[in-house]
Each structure stands twice: as structure tokens, then as C-alpha cells.
Copies of this chain bind each other. A is one copy, B any other.
Amino acid sequence: MRNFDQSLPMLLYRALNALMPEFRAIFRQFGLTERQWRVLRVLWEEDGKPLLALAERTLIPAPSLIGVVDRLRKGGLVERRRSATDRRVVQVWLTDGGRALQAEVTPLVDRAYAAFDGFMDPEEWRALTAMMDKIASRANGAGDPLAHKVGDEK
């Protein structure tokens, strides 16, 4: 039986556990959850994204995303619209309120991130990014947020 605490999953989980509460505290000031912020974060960069694209980019599983978007909608931050060209597609658009939030949240988040810049030197960051990418692109295509795809071999 291998070492549990030093296994790759536990290493990653522990790092995230140390990392995220600080950011969540920021989101909470604006009544946002971490996932809600992630959706907004992507829309601020590219508004009107289809749900599936949003799921991939935010790493939020599609079935969960439905609820996240709906709560954002109830909060008046986004709207849902069917695509005119492909009626299967649901696009998520920011409202004025959702757009306005960017200017408030972003500075705080950026400042929190900045605290990490000096934490490791550029070479370490490069190595870390490369290793994470390597791990993420390994695995037989599993791990994308489209859970219902995995194991579709019939």
C-alpha cells in the first residue's frame, strides 16, 4: 500500500484546500460562490457563451452548470437565450449588473493572485504549469466536464 498523503491526488487536494478559502472569502463579499464567479469570469472575457462551452472552460460539470447559471439568473446577473441558428444551444449573456460586477470583484481577486507571484520564482511556475498540463492531457480523454461522454463505447 503506497503512501497516501504523498499521492498525487492528495497533494493536489491539499494545495487547493489551502488555496481556495482565501478566494472564496472575496467572492462571498459579493454574494457569489466560487462556481458562480468562474462563470462570470469567463463571460466577462467572452459573453454569450453556449452552456457546453461554458462547462468546459469553467470545469463545471454540465448538469451542475444548469443550476449555477439559474442562480445567477435569479440574482439578475445573467440571462439565458436560445441560439437563433441552432436551437439546441443555450447562450448565457451578462446583464448590465453582471457586467458591472467585474470592476468590483476583479481588483480584489487580482490582488490575491498577486500575493502568489512572489511565492515561487518564474522557473518554478513554468515547471508547475508544465507538469499540471502534462497530467491534465494524459488520461484517455477522461476528465472533461461532459461526464455523460465518458465510457460511451457502445
* Interface set of A (CB-CB < 8 Å, partner B): 1-2, 4-23, 25, 41-42, 44-45, 57, 59, 102, 106, 110, 113, 116, 119-120, 124, 127-129, 131-139, 142-145, 150-151
Q: Separation in Å of the A92 CB from the closest CB of chain B?
A: 16
Return the contact of A59 from the options B13, B106, B138, B142 (Cβ within 8 A): B13
Contacts of A113 in B (CB 8 A): 2, 7-8
Given A4-B42, A42-B4, residue A11 in contact with residue B128 (CB < 8 A): yes
Query: Could you show 20 A-B contacts with beta carbons less than 8 Å apart?
Result: A1-B102, A1-B106, A4-B57, A6-B129, A7-B113, A11-B129, A11-B133, A12-B12, A12-B19, A13-B16, A14-B133, A15-B132, A17-B136, A17-B143, A18-B143, A19-B143, A20-B143, A21-B139, A22-B139, A127-B127
